[in-house]
Chains A and B, each alone.
Chain A
């Protein structure tokens, strides 16, 4: 099963989804295609102007170009996914991944697609960590 993860570059989610036998859809795979196939020589410009235009499929013209650029990468992954796991309230220190507007759009796209989604929060103590893993495991087992 293909599972979209949000934050899409999360180490924890990528590892857990893969560990429980599913394929995580992450930004890293999408960006690897760009890194290998295109010339990207001005860090951190991982998104090109064409991507921002492609993002119009997922967000209106009034939406900031940064959000559209992200959605041009995340949107196709949401379409390709069979399910999604979303960690809400990402800290602002996460950079572009912590963008609240992008997160709202991602959650909206997932809801609109009607695909099963699990919403979680980052654990803050050991019990929350246990519940976090338990929920992910049960959700992924339920997809089989």
Chain B
């Protein structure tokens, strides 16, 4: 069964999509690779794709993230090169920006570091709010 994977590089990483694609090519695994601006797309049989994903994650520790993709790599419905729509792009971009924070979290988890959760913001009491609003 086909599986297409999206590999995204954390923006703080020094790894480039070109290097990532070359490293995967060098494994000699039977997968199709498409280099993209954020990382690359890999496509092939499920087991092989999973092996390659595990390998890609080790290239730069905790800096390569992956998820499945419904459409094939270069599918004309979705491919930008053929003016395909990309409805999930805003979300992907937003999550890409948060990847350094997740990387920091993964690094901390690897080191066994524990972080205390900050207390949430409290609501401003109405009396205090009234004091702020009142012009003296």
Contact = CB atoms under 8 A, between A and B. Distances in A.
B88 interface: yes
Given A43-B77, A134-B109, A12 B98 contact: yes
A48 interface: no
A62 interface: no
B84 A43 contact: yes
Interface in B60-94: 65-72, 75, 77-78, 84-85, 87-88, 90-92, 94
A7 B67 CA distance: 13
Interface of A is mostly: helix
Chain A, interface residues (CB within 8 Å), range: 35 or more
Given A11-B65, A12-B99, A130 B94 contact: no
Contacts of B31: none
Chain B interface size band reads 35 or more
A97 interface: yes
A103 B9 CA distance: 28
B98 A122 contact: yes
Contact of B71 (A35, A97, A129, A133): A35
A94 B88 CA distance: 7
A29 B68 CA distance: 7
A92 B31 CA distance: 35
B98 A129 contact: yes
A128 B70 contact: no
A35 B106 CA distance: 33
A117 interface: no
Interface string A74-113: 0000000000000000010111111000000000000000
Contacts of A133: 102, 105-106, 108-109
Nearest to B115: A130
A53 interface: no
Given A16-B102, A123-B101, A134-B109, 13 more contacts: A10-B95, A11-B67, A11-B92, A19-B57, A29-B68, A29-B70, A35-B75, A94-B94, A95-B87, A127-B118, A128-B118, A129-B102, A133-B108
Interface of A: 7, 9-12, 14-16, 18-19, 26-32, 34-36, 40-41, 43-44, 46, 91, 93-98, 122-134, 137
Closest 5 CB pairs of A and B: A133-B105, A129-B101, A31-B70, A14-B67, A130-B115
